[in-house]
Amino acid sequence: MTKRTRNHDHVAVAVVGAGPVGLTAALDLRHHGISAELFDQDVTVCEGSRAIAWAQRTLEIFDRLGVGKRVRNEGTTWKTGKVFWKEDLVYEFDLQQDPHFEFPAFVNMPQHQVERVLIERLAETNAPPIRFIHRLSALDVEDGLTRLTFETPSGPSVWTCDYLLAADGARSTIRKLSRLGFQGRNFEDKFLIADVRMQAEFPTERWFWFDPPFNPGRSALLHRQPDNIFRIDLQLGPSADPDVERQPERVTSRVRAMLGPDRVFELDWVSVYSFQCRRLERFRHGSTFFIGDSAHQISPFGGRGGNSGIQDVDNLVWKLALVIAGKAPDALLDSYDVERRAAADENMLITTRSTDFISPRDQTDLAFRDAVLELSAKHAFARGMVNSGRLSRPTPYRQSSLNLAPDLDQADAIQPGTPCPDAPVQRQDGSRGWLLSEFNAVFTIVIFADGSRGLLAHAREVVSMLARETGLKINLLPIHIGQPGACGLGDTEGLVCRRLGGKPGRVIVIRPDQHVAAVLGTCDGQAIRRALMAATGHQ
């Protein structure tokens, strides 16, 4: 709840920036019952499609917040792609050969539509209205509180907060006011984005060209979006003049060369960009947390920018909720910085390699790339070396201090730090469900039942005791191999056991962000307690 003081308003958490990352943060804070206000300097959602490719893990996070199915249903689902070299198809790929997941590998939906979905969901939760046209002009820390001054049409507006989430993007005002800089690499190459509206029978796939005849010596990308919009991305080279390349007649000429002289289309949105692979040295600065592009800027190849920002939120908010509630020490918040910096480093490394393959730096690199492409047309072993953008996948936190190290006997199970994969389950009423939807954003103790009533009775007693001792909300989730038992879920297709390494009596402790905290051979109350203490920063 917002508190009014004599000179200003106060809120527990202030989120600055109402893009997809800031909106997701506001929605997740609302989900955890945390008082928050969301500020943005603009008056509406973003212009143009911007980020379009939302990965399976992001869709699962969205689903926890009540928007995953809407994004899936209103967006364009895809999982396959084609890679071309010059005029020839080199190979095809399938990102999700196993269909037994609730959400697809990717959904394409333009950023402005995703923002509208998130805004509508926020309104459904009765969250405070977004404070648009609030331009941050000053930031100070006094008496343990962060003081924010915004310029608005009606004059300055002053707020204080206990915690500040900087979701204000690549040109972050909070980062500038905090006098923080990036470390990493700038790329001089420039690219053209053209969102084109047209009627076309192209399949819903990702098409990527190396050195095509319509853009010789460079690359091109074609992607379908909803409403007959297609994303075209053309490499221009480092010497391109953005002002010239944005001119409609220039863009139309390039697009016509790609699509053919008879294709009828109209330009919906155009942008020219270059990019960086950079990040802040640290993502936590006292009570300020940088999330999304304000913390890290990643090459767009592979759709890792927006997706990693949503995963930043997923990592941070549950920790913030526990600390605010007094159920975890402040040190838990340091793990956000450690875990998400590691994720940013992985994404930067992967996308830098993609960029170097797409845009060879010299003739030696070009010769190597072309040799790989030539081999890939005939030999499957070479296709793993082709890099048109390694598509977004969640980062496991294998080295995190929040993990309880597994025993050697558990080596065949899913490893701590890994995001828990989804799988189909059967409920007691016979209906079909999905594993991740049963976790409810709290700590979940998954136990693979052995048919023994005594085991489940013991597990319920252990969880009840631990909930009392720790003050944590803990969900006990029995998994029965085959049909559901007297309580719990049935693993009728065997996919829960296969994906998690389940066997009778094994226990898996899941964090509120659905990452594995521990794998235990038995339902040992002391071992589960150690796992919960580690996962909440009690070292």
Answer yes or no: is pLDDT of 486 > 80.
no
Rounded percentage of the chain residues whose pLDDT exceeds 70: 98
Question: In the predicted model, what is the mean pLDDT of residues 173-189?
Answer: 91
pLDDT, residue 334, reads 98
Question: In the predicted model, what is the mean pLDDT of residues 513-523?
Answer: 95
pLDDT, residue 499, reads 96
Which residues, in sequence order, are CB contacts of 178 under 8 Å at separation 6+?
A: 139, 285, 288
Question: In the predicted model, what is the mean pLDDT of residues 111-126?
Answer: 95
Answer yes or no: is pLDDT of 147 > 80.
yes
pLDDT, residue 173, reads 97
Question: In the predicted model, what is the mean pLDDT of residues 257-282?
Answer: 93
pLDDT, residue 71, reads 97
Answer yes or no: is pLDDT of 373 > 90.
yes
pLDDT, residue 328, reads 97
Three-class SS state of 39: strand
Vertex 240: Cα angle to 308 and 181 (nearest 5): 40
**CB-based burial of residue 402 (10 Å sphere; 0-12 exposed, 13-18 middle, 19+ buried)?**
buried
Mean pLDDT of the chain: 93
Rounded percentage of the chain residues whose pLDDT exceeds 90: 81
- Within 10 A of 87 (CB to CB), how many other CB atoms are there? 10
pLDDT, residue 5, reads 54
Question: In the predicted model, what is the mean pLDDT of residues 156-170?
Answer: 96
* pLDDT interval class at 525 (50, 70, 90): very high
Answer yes or no: is pLDDT of 1 > 60.
no
Lowest pLDDT segment from 114-118, 327-331, 348-352: 348-352
- Within 10 A of 140 (CB to CB), how many other CB atoms are there? 11
Answer yes or no: is pLDDT of 135 > 70.
yes
pLDDT, residue 381, reads 92
Answer yes or no: is pLDDT of 2 > 70.
no
Answer yes or no: is pLDDT of 127 > 70.
yes
Q: Report CA dihedral (120, 123, 127, 129) to the nearest 10 degrees.
A: 90
Three-class SS state of 464: helix
pLDDT, residue 8, reads 78
* pLDDT interval class at 48 (50, 70, 90): low
Three-class SS state of 155: strand
Contact (Cβ atoms closer than 8 angstroms) between residue 414 and residue 500: yes
Tokens of 37: 């206000």
Length of the chain: 539
Question: In the predicted model, what is the mean pLDDT of residues 500-526?
Answer: 95
Comparison of pLDDT for 494 and 187, the residue scoring more: 494
Question: In the predicted model, what is the mean pLDDT of residues 107-136?
Answer: 95
What is the residue type of 482?
G
Is 0.85 surpassed by the pTM of this model?
Answer: yes
Contact (Cβ atoms closer than 8 angstroms) between residue 178 and residue 288: yes
pLDDT, residue 392, reads 83
Contact (Cβ atoms closer than 8 angstroms) between residue 116 and residue 74: no
Ranked by mean pLDDT, the top range of 142-146, 339-343, 350-354, 377-381 is 339-343
Bridge-based pairing state of the strands 80-85 and 88-94: antiparallel
Lowest pLDDT segment from 15-19, 61-65, 147-151, 298-302: 298-302
Answer yes or no: is pLDDT of 43 > 80.
yes
Answer yes or no: is pLDDT of 451 > 80.
no
pLDDT, residue 49, reads 65
Lowest pLDDT segment from 147-161, 264-278, 321-335: 264-278
Question: In the predicted model, what is the mean pLDDT of residues 347-352?
Answer: 89
* pLDDT interval class at 462 (50, 70, 90): very high
